[in-house]
Structure 1
């Protein structure tokens, strides 16, 4: 059955709105605020940790969100971020959104927000967004263009059936994500307890020599881990980006395992650039721009761009889990060391010279025994989510073009 096509604004309950801007002195306490980080990080936004701002009653009335609101990225340094769509789902407390985001509130008598969230994930929907993206250095969309997009308009019953089918996959993905979050939290708490508070097994009986536990080493990252960065093959040769070798960009650093990347390159691309293949379990740290300090672990061998620093153990005690959790713990300190005007950055030298305390082999072996089990569980859950996303993404276009009837 062929669906009706209408202008998107015909489904609006009220005009779209850009988010709120508040000066720095209003940050820190108050109402939760969705920034671009949350928009990029989550397709469904509910009770995730966020920054807070103070707001007046009038601002709360105008800028607070409701379940079912659609959020679109208004500005982004990367084209894929412009117009990125997320859905407000199961808010626990009052939440607002920043000025780089557009809010669309649909009329529930005409449209199901979750269906249109999925529609904007489809080829037709994402293509409609790409058609209104403007800008050179900073990519963006305007609410005035967004409202004039032509969208598919099936019946509410059809919208509900399609959303229900796709939601089953996303519900499983979300359940796994929450399990991953709990596992990661337990590993980070263990790291902090042992290596920051120094309450490791046997600490009561371990002498402190020169300010550190006996058998531990005080140094810098380069004493225990070797570093390298990647490179970007020339965009003037499109063939370089037709291969099957994963190529990681900093916006893909997800504070977890990376299994596959948006772009892949060829062997020839590696030969003609600074890109290099890093092995599985390389820890990646972002050095440039808004993602400074973001981390990830390669689940499989991959290449990266020059904005990623890759770290590998360089002594018999070091391991990738310790390295990953160390940089997770010190993310903000690294970000505060960033230099640069147009785009803040840190260098490999800053990372190499960053102070590090390495525990004794005995303590590290016990830590590995505990945390390796945790990270193996995380990897299994991440793999399950990859398969669920793949199955959902195969279904999505078939449901949206009517190939599969509901």
Structure 2
């Protein structure tokens, strides 16, 4: 199999494609964003190769038409041009016409020389990631420009081989996406059940329970501060190498996963590092909430972990189970976000938990809830583990396919 060498900019020029940054602030003003309309993709919306619409900004059709040159086409690749510059997302058919937002950059190719899907996986390689980081400008925050991205060296085989390589890698991603869809349905069923039982108060036997001032008889209205142990973390000195790269996962806001479970962290510490920081080794099913950075992200530990000071670890007191802790906090955080519209939800402190009120049911109801929702959490955990194994297999294949070590 023969390989060709060029730069991304040269390929885009020959292929009739473009590499272009999103509109500057002078072209798209804050006042033009609105609750409904055409989605505008920002760096924060790029998660795990996809566009998340959870907190996506939107503009009117009129504004989108004015910014027509920034509209996205299917099979485009969007990446942040500042901050987390090594993230990227592949634009799907249903996202056609969305806008490449301020802070992002789009790559459009016609696929006559370089397939967009092949480029997407090419950009996931460690050497490509390092190249972008090394050539970005800025010290406190890395910045990319269209000219920097245009200079990216590309090594590529024939279109036929590109198709075959992309097909092998995308088959793994399709299985992962299928798992993610199943996980989303399972998690939604758990959320709906929590709302039905503990917010709408249609729990088993509710017809026979008297409710006074919104509190069923035998229940208690308490704060999260009084209901959960709120534990802090700490970071070992980064200058002492003996504290790092051990067997203990070290959870930070960067590791916040989309979904219930988190198993892997970007960094790990040693037993010595654990002894020399303010974090405990928190057991499986501990609930972590990010307090700074990506505020309010919730995860449940899939294995014992330590934690940085930018998070809190939460453990239920008395008869309160960890499943109930996770579900109650998930509902409470969504409520806090809604209350923060027009304000800034930029940090969680211990006093925040004093403002979160939760109805605490008796032991029998919590046990019944765990019996129903526990198997859902187990299914989600199994699917999460499957996806982790698929990602690991894909990540092993990726450099070997891209280097030609594995022939196609």
Judge same fold: TM > 0.5, yes or no: yes
- Structure 1 CA distance, aligned partners of 2:145 and 2:74? 23
8 Å contact 1:288–1:343 — kept in the other structure?
no
Q: Which residue of 2 aligns with 1:54?
A: 60
Which of 6, 30, 42 in structure 2 is aligned with 1:23? 30
Kindly indicate whether residue 179 of structure 2 is the aligned counterpart of residue 176 of structure 1: yes
1:313-347 deviations in Å (ceiling 9; x for gaps) = 1111x111221122222224445788xx9993221
- For residue 400 of structure 1, report the CA deviation from its aligned partner: 0.9
* RMSD (Å) for aligned C-alpha atoms: 2.3
Quick check: 1:202 aligned with 2:209? no
Contact 1:47 1:91 in 2 (8 A): no
Question: Is the contact between residue 21 and residue 145 of structure 2 (CA under 8 Å) also seen in structure 1?
Answer: no
Partner of 1:272: 276
Question: Structure 2: which 5+ residue stretches go unaligned?
Answer: none
CA contact (8 A) 1:284 1:308 kept: yes
**Distance between the aligned counterparts of 1:195 and 1:60, measured in 2?**
46
What is the distance in 2 between the residues matched to 1:7 and 1:22?
A: 34
Work out the CA distance in 1 between the residues paired with 2:344 and 2:367.
44
Structure 1 CA distance, aligned partners of 2:313 and 2:30?
Answer: 36
CA deviations on 1:153-179 (whole Å, 9 max, x unpaired) are 221111111000111101100000000
Q: CA deviation at 1:135?
A: 2.5
**Corresponding residue for 1:43?**
49
- Match for residue 308 of structure 1? 311
- Residues 92-133 of structure 1, C-alpha deviations (whole Å, 9 max, x = no match): 564223211111101321111111111111122212222223
The yes-or-no answer on 1:64 pairing with 2:68 is no
CA distance in 2 between counterparts of 1:261 and 1:352 reads 29
CA distance in 2, matches of 1:144, 1:178: 37
What is residue 6 of structure 1 aligned with on the other side? 6
The answer on whether the counterparts of 1:292 and 1:334 sit within 8 Å (CA) in structure 2 is no
TM-score normalised to the size of structure 1? 0.91
Shift of 1:397: 0.8
3-state SS of 2:148 partner: helix
Conserved 8 A contact 1:33-1:98: yes
The structure-2 alpha-carbon separation of the partners of 1:348 and 1:280, relative to structure 1 and needing over 3 Å to count, comes to: same
Q: How far apart are residue 6 of structure 1 and its match?
A: 0.5
SS at match of 2:296: coil
Which residue number in structure 2 is paired with residue 233 of structure 1? 236
Which of 365, 368, 373 does residue 366 from structure 1 map onto? 368
